[in-house]
Amino acid sequence: MSNSKSELLQGTLDLLILRTLAVNEAMHGWAISQRIAQLSRDALTVNQGSLYPALHRLEAQGLAKAEWGVSENNRQAKFYSITRAGRKQLGDETESWLRFSEAVGLVLKASG
Amino acid sequence: MSFLHRLRKLFHRAAAETELEREIAFHLEMETRALERTGLPADAARREAMRQFGGVHRAKEECRDAWSIRLIDTLRQDLSYGWRGLRHNPGFAIIVILTLALGIGANTAIFSVVNGVLLRPLPYAEPERLVSLTQSASKTGQSSIGFSVPDFMDFRARNRGFSAMSEYHSMSFILLGGAEPEQVQTGVVSDNFFDLLGVKPILGRTFRPGEDKPGAEPVLMLSYHYWQTKLGGDRSVIGRVFQMNNKPHTVVGVLPPLPAFPNENQIFMPASACPFRGSPDVLTHRTARLLSNVFARVKDGVTSVQAEEDARRIGLELCSQYPESYPTNDGYSVGLSSVARAFTGNARAGLLLLLAMSGFVLLIACANVANLTLSRLLRRNREFAVRLALGATRGRIVRQLLTESIMLASLGGAAGLLLANLGVRGLLIYAHRFLPRADEVGLDGSVLLFAVIVTLFTALLFGSRVRFPADGDVVGALKDGSRGTALAHSRFRALLVIGQIAVSVPLLVGAGLAAHHLYNLQTVDPGINTSQVVAANIALNWTQMDTFDKRFAFWNHVVEEVRALPDVDSVAVSGAEPLNGLTNYTSNFRIEHQGSSAEGASPHAIILASTEDYFKTVGEPLVRGRYFNHGDAHTSPAVAIINQALANHYWRGEDPIGRRITFDNGQSWVVVVGIVANTHQRLDADTLDELNIPLSKTDGLIGATVLARTHAPPDTFAKVLRQVIHHVDPNQPITSVETLAQVRQGLLAPPRLTTTLLVLFALVALLITAAGIAGVLAFSVSQRTQEIGIWMALGATRGSVLWVVARQALILVGIGLLVGTIGALFVCRYMQSMLYGVPAIDMITFTVVIAILLLVSTLAALAPARRAASISPVLALRMT
């Protein structure tokens, strides 16, 4: 695997998925993986295998909901969309994530 | 909402599974298409899509993790996996379940007895505040001299530390008014007795204040058992009138079921209703210590130490006030004992021993199951490696193994409970007679709880040692089974076996000591004839036999009638049953012209009363002097026959015949006329000093034993004897007729039970330990097959291979024996006071135990050693 791409930190995948769902209509898993790669300009590799457990986890926690629908190529697919609880969670998480990354950045710059 | 969501997933597993399948298939399809569009050929695109996705299985597994209410779901899965696993390996499952069932069953059975006898709260209010007062004369070996009525009155009036106090004694009376005249054991108590205990009647009322005062109308309370068995639980019994002691007694209440404490009383009456207690002598004489117990409740805020000090103070006051009435020279003292403690009595030490020993058995069983589980684990190592490679998490595997352990333990526990239930029932049939509170023994909630805890404990104990290849080593594990872990395991397994042996030693020693004790009791020669002597115990009807003359005439009449029987060699009446009750009564005396000995305690001895042919009947040979004879009448000068032990003790080198002793400080004298050989008064004690007086010089005895020596078969003669006594006076109840040999057997019952159980435990332990040793050695041989093959190829003989394996066994056994012997010494010390004629460190037992363990482990090592020796070097080397 390429070293120029960053592995995802534990827990950040959920955040990225919520973010992606928040600004889009209902999406299926593959589309979500594509969108995340695209948004991060391919800098983040989403391990596709771990995308689905994350989606199922969000669904089980009530942060996302899923429905079966018909895809753009006319196939049965499971579409995920964000819930009200998901939006709230996204807000909280985004804020703390920004604070966290800002802090890490400060530390790194100071010591560098 | 999300909970419902999970539940739905849980119950619609199949649907959820297909959905997951379709979802992932869709993803792969989309990805493949996308890759195809970049120009990849179809199958290459598909492969690349799969590669990017990563482990499909692991992803699915993690999705399932996300959905389910994990515990229930994985449990269900684990259970079905576990079940399948066990069914694949029924031998393993059966052995483990059986081993655990034995361990858990033994523990649960013993615990249910301990629970019923020792742990269940007494049915009294605040039982920890209930005490029994005792007056004792310790230097004469009398732990309790009882209380006289004036004693009791003074203790009750003068105490400051007790909120209530009640007298107690128990007598047997004839009750008239039921279907037929009946002998009833009657507790005679103060009016506040039941309030003091905190016992409420289930019917009617308890005694009212004043009902124990002289002249009060006699009333009765019935025990629950008596009410149920003799009166059929008749609820209209309140107010019914029975005749007792020639007076009408009215039933006022029925008691709830209570333990038989301090005696097995069928009914209770207030003090004033007992004719004996009411006689002027008893009421006024300070030394007429008729009352066997005084019960009291310690006041709130008073400690037991303070209460005891208070009681002692009263004792001292009484001593200085009435010096002639208290045996101050003989170590008179007043003491308190907890009622709760009195309950458990002698059973406590033995039961705790059994509980500890059954715990040891369980430990050994657990060690064995741990051992079995480990070797099964090693065989399954490859399976785990495969599952890890397929994406199972380590936690998941540990959990599944634990589930299997718990499954096995639960099955073992259930089987154990079944065993325990059978065991307890069997035990009670046998032990009912001598176990206090045996009625309360059974499988109740706390026993079940105990079994569950023990079961879970065992599951954790044997299920906790789980190791697998580290994640990084999956490949290694897949390639080469189990090498690395096997080595780490084998050290642990050797430790387990050492532990098993170490625990077996105290178990075996305990069993050995008990067996030695039992053997001593069985083989001790009491010095009397037991096989041809039949003993009939009779308790006279107190109201009919109210004078010495009547009682004495009755006994003489019985002796004459029995003597006239054709098969009788000799007959006598004794105040107590040989081997059983001879040590019940001891007294002090003083020898003429001898001061008290240096310690200040006066001589004392067991006092026995009998008629003239007693010694001839039981076969106690005369050493010097004469037996009692017809001339020793009520009005003749008092005479005594002493045993050799007493003669040696107080007349060293002198002739006691013709010497005089006194029981009342010189007011009257008793002449020693004979010396008889030493015999055992009890089976579990050496000969004690004994002083016999003729029955004619007693009060005529209200209860005694008729002894007849016969040359007829004792069983048929026993029936004849019963008839004859009945014929003399049908109103005098016979409590038992049996040969002295039967009396002796009866006395052996409790130690026999303890020994049987301990030996049983020891055998089970031995068996399990042997299996453990064999298992470990067999495993180690199978691990070292190649190594042994190389040795043999290099010229090692079969003998030297045998020795290598045997040596391994001997090292384990040696270390185990060393550790175990230390534990066994503690067992010796704990059991010392329960044993008769067994030395403090019983070399016989230790030698036998060590020999048995060595023998058994050698036998256990035999099969694996022979297998090692028969390894073919060629085949072994080819295995590489």
Q: What is the pLDDT of residues B568-600, one digit of tens each?
A: 999 999 988 898 877 767 777 888 887 654 455
Asked whether residue B453 is assigned to any structural domain, the reply reads yes
What's the pLDDT at B458? 73
Q: A97 CA to chain B: closest CA distance, Å? A: 23
CB contact under 8 A, B63 and A53: yes
Q: Do B217 and B275 belong together in one domain?
A: yes
Q: Whats the size of chain A, residue-wise?
A: 112
What's the pLDDT at B477? 54
ipTM of the assembly? 0.84
Tell me how far the alpha carbon of residue B763 is from its chain's centroid.
Answer: 19
Residues B342-346 have a mean pLDDT of: 68
Digit-coded pLDDT (tens) for B132-165: 998 887 655 556 778 989 999 999 999 999 999 9
Nearest residue to B533 (alpha-carbon basis) of B747, B748, B743: B743
Nearest CA in chain A to B391: A49
Considering only residues B554 and B477, tell me which one the structure prediction assigns the higher pLDDT: B554
What's the pLDDT at B470? 43
Q: Do B340 and B357 belong together in one domain?
A: no
pTM of the model: 0.68
Residues B405-410 have a mean pLDDT of: 83
What's the pLDDT at B478? 54
Q: Do B392 and B304 belong together in one domain?
A: no
pLDDT at B342 over 90: no
Domain boundary among B706, B731, B756: B731
Residues B867-880 have a mean pLDDT of: 75
Q: Which of B5, B33, B63 sits opposite A52 (nearest CB)?
A: B63
Bond before B262 cis per omega within 30 degrees: yes
CB contact under 8 A, A56 and B67: yes
Confidence of residue B481 (pLDDT cuts 50, 70, 90): very low
pLDDT at B793 over 90: no
Nearest residue to B416 (alpha-carbon basis) of B373, B376, B358, B374: B358
Digit-coded pLDDT (tens) for B277-308: 888 878 888 877 888 889 999 999 999 899 99
Structure tokens at B546: 């109210």
Nearest CA in chain B to A64: B2
Q: Do B842 and B697 belong together in one domain?
A: no
Q: Which of A50, A62, A76 sits opposite B2 (nearest CB)?
A: A62
Judged by average pLDDT, the poorest of B325-329, B452-456, B598-602, B795-799 is B598-602
Confidence of residue B559 (pLDDT cuts 50, 70, 90): very high
Confidence of residue B493 (pLDDT cuts 50, 70, 90): confident
Contact with chain B for residue A30, Cβ under 8 A: yes
Confidence of residue B471 (pLDDT cuts 50, 70, 90): very low
Q: Does residue B107 contact residue B364 with C-beta atoms inside 8 Å?
A: no
Q: B55 CA to chain A: closest CA distance, Å? A: 6
Q: What is the three-class DSSP state of B58?
A: helix
Residue-number span of the structural domain to which B20 is assigned: 3-68
- Reported as type and span, the H/E element at residue B342 is helix B339-344
- For chain B, percent of residues with pLDDT exceeding 90: 28
| Angular region, B303: left φ>0, alpha ψ -120 to 50, beta rest | beta
Asked whether residue B511 is assigned to any structural domain, the reply reads yes
CB contact under 8 A, B23 and A52: yes
CB contact under 8 A, A49 and B53: yes
Q: Do B807 and B874 belong together in one domain?
A: yes
Q: Do B662 and B784 belong together in one domain?
A: no
CB contact under 8 A, B27 and A48: yes
Q: Do B608 and B697 belong together in one domain?
A: yes
Residue indicated by tokens 């799969």: B50
CB contact under 8 A, A49 and B5: no
Q: A76 CA to chain B: closest CA distance, Å? A: 8
What's the pLDDT at B462? 65
Tell me how far the alpha carbon of residue B837 is from its chain's centroid.
Answer: 21
Residues B308-335 have a mean pLDDT of: 86
The DSSP symbol for B207 reads: P
Considering only residues B602 and B24, tell me which one the structure prediction assigns the higher pLDDT: B24
Judged by average pLDDT, the poorest of B32-36, B315-319, B426-430, B754-758 is B426-430
State how far the Cα of B733 lies from the Cα of B183, in Å rounded to an integer: 7
What's the pLDDT at B864? 85
Nearest CA in chain A to B31: A30
Asked whether residue B95 is assigned to any structural domain, the reply reads no
Digit-coded pLDDT (tens) for B645-676: 999 988 888 889 999 988 777 778 899 999 99
Contact with chain A for residue B55, Cβ under 8 A: yes
CB contact under 8 A, A30 and B26: yes
Question: What's the domain count of chain B?
Answer: 4
Segments of chain A with pLDDT less than 70: 1-11, 42-46, 111-112
End-to-end CA distance of chain A: 28
CB contact under 8 A, A78 and B26: yes
Structure tokens at B658: 């013709």
> Residues of B with CB below 8 A from A60's CB?
2, 5-6, 9, 66-67
Asked whether residue B773 is assigned to any structural domain, the reply reads yes
Q: Do B340 and B351 belong together in one domain?
A: no
What's the pLDDT at B430? 75
Q: A108 CA to chain B: closest CA distance, Å? A: 32
Q: Which of B6, B22, B24 sits opposite A60 (nearest CB)?
A: B6
Give the list of residues 6+ apart from residue B168 with CB closer than 8 angstroms, or none. B187, B188, B189, B190, B193, B262, B291, B292, B293, B294, B295
Digit-coded pLDDT (tens) for B768-777: 888 888 888 8
Q: Which of A34, A50, A60 sits opposite B67 (nearest CB)?
A: A60
CB contact under 8 A, A52 and B22: no
CB contact under 8 A, B26 and A75: yes
Q: Do B568 and B461 belong together in one domain?
A: no
Q: Do B272 and B402 belong together in one domain?
A: no
Domain boundary among B344, B368, B400: B344
Considering only residues B402 and B625, tell me which one the structure prediction assigns the higher pLDDT: B625
Nearest CA in chain A to B68: A60
Asked whether residue B96 is assigned to any structural domain, the reply reads no
Contact with chain B for residue A62, Cβ under 8 A: yes
Q: B496 CA to chain A: closest CA distance, Å? A: 42
Give the list of residues 6+ apart from residue B109 with CB closer than 8 angstroms, or none. B358, B419, B420, B423, B424, B427
CB contact under 8 A, B66 and A48: no
Asked whether residue B118 is assigned to any structural domain, the reply reads no
CB contact under 8 A, B26 and A28: yes
pLDDT at B860 over 70: yes
Nearest CA in chain B to A79: B23
Asked whether residue B373 is assigned to any structural domain, the reply reads yes
Domain boundary among B23, B39, B68: B68
Nearest CA in chain A to B63: A53
CB contact under 8 A, A53 and B62: yes
- Helix ranges restricted to H, B271-332: 280-284, 304-321
Residue to substitute from A28, A32, A52, interface B, most B β-carbons within 10 A: A52
CB contact under 8 A, A52 and B24: yes
Q: Does residue A86 contact residue A63 with C-beta atoms inside 8 Å?
A: yes
Domains within chain A, CATH numbers bracketed: 10-109 (1.10.10.10)
Contact with chain B for residue A59, Cβ under 8 A: yes
Q: Read out DSSP for B720-770?
A: HHHHHHHHH-TTS-EEEEEEHHHHHHHHHHHHHHHHHHHHHHHHHHHHHHH
Confidence of residue B482 (pLDDT cuts 50, 70, 90): very low
Q: Do B821 and B681 belong together in one domain?
A: no
- For chain B, percent of residues with pLDDT exceeding 70: 91
What's the pLDDT at B572? 94
Asked whether residue B81 is assigned to any structural domain, the reply reads no
Judged by average pLDDT, the poorest of B16-25, B457-466, B843-852 is B457-466
What's the pLDDT at B11? 59
State how far the Cα of B484 lies from the Cα of B476, in Å rounded to an integer: 10
Alpha-carbon distance values, B579 to B12, B482, B525, B686, B743 (Å): 76, 66, 11, 12, 8
Residues B355-383 have a mean pLDDT of: 82
CB contact under 8 A, B54 and A59: no
Residues B5-29 have a mean pLDDT of: 76
What's the pLDDT at B485? 55
Q: Do B272 and B383 belong together in one domain?
A: no
Nearest CA in chain B to A78: B23
